[in-house]
Amino acid sequence: MQFHLQVISRCFDCETRYEGLLIISKDSSHAASFRMEYGWIFQSKKRRIICPECIAGSNGKIMKKTPQQLRAIFGLANRRGLEKPEIELLASEVTGNHGQRLSALTFSQANQLIVRLGGEPFSEKETPRRTINYRKQRDGVITLASQKSLKLMDQLAAGRGITAEGLERMCRRMFGSPRPRTAKACSAVIEALKSMNRRDQMRAKLQDKDPKEAA
């Protein structure tokens, strides 16, 4: 059994802002430290949280953001129409450091920014997507709807002759918003549209079959 607690705090050493989950399992309730998201840990005896960069720093090494993470950040931001100043403002909110420069992001901070933009966090070792999705579902992480999924939703609606206004009404009926914000909500709309298409195909097959039986 695991307990997930939402935590908003700062690293004891570098004061980087943390907003995520503290994960406590029944077997580790008396442990000296507990696992958190993005590689952070909570030291129960000292009652403080430490970021992965400061943990690595005790060994003389701080892991900085990677070029792949930067490409992911700009790609996700571009899909949402965000310019560099807006990305840096969002980075400041994520890290809690006013005037945060993207070039100064750590590996962990870049991951938090990627997740905030609706992307998948990077790992030092490649993790299968299925495992990542399971962990996000287990930890209650909410993923924003991707532009690819929203485009598919619009295409399916247009294929059924549903106007933009009609699609907005459908979304409002399903979850009270004109457009889905989360991946889960967007997936629900897509599946509903696909289900409508399957019913139409079944009706068409039955209509083709009836005249043959009558003959």
Judgement on whether residues 92 and 135 belong to the same structural domain of the protein: yes
Indicate whether 145 pLDDT > 90.
no
What average pLDDT score do residues 122-145 get?
A: 65
Same domain, 72 and 127: yes
Whether residue 62 lies inside any domain: the answer is no
89 and 37 within one domain: no
Using the CB atoms, write b or e for 47-79: b if 16+ within 10 Å: eebbbbbbbbeeeeeebebeeebbebbeebbee
Q: Which one of 32-36, 125-129, 131-135, 144-148 scores highest in mean pLDDT?
A: 144-148
| CB contact at 8 A, 33 and 42 | yes
pLDDT confidence of residue 29? 47
Confidence category of residue 28, pLDDT binned at 50, 70, 90? very low
Res 11: pLDDT: 65
Q: Token pair of 19, please?
A: 């907003």
Question: 139, 160, 178: which is the final residue of a domain?
Answer: 139
156-190 in b/e form (b: 16+ CB < 10 A) is bbeeeebeeeebeebbeeeeeeebbeebebbebbb
Q: Could you identify the residue written with the tokens 């992307």? A: 119
72 assigned to some structural domain: yes
pLDDT of residue 159: 92
Q: Of the residues 34, 57, 80, which one is the last residue of a structural domain? A: 57
Q: Is the pLDDT of residue 110 over 50?
A: yes
Instruction: Quote the number of domains for the chain.
Output: 3
The average confidence (pLDDT) of the chain is 76
Structure tokens at 212: 């043959």
Domain holding 121, by residue range, is: 67-139
Domain boundary among 139, 160, 186: 139
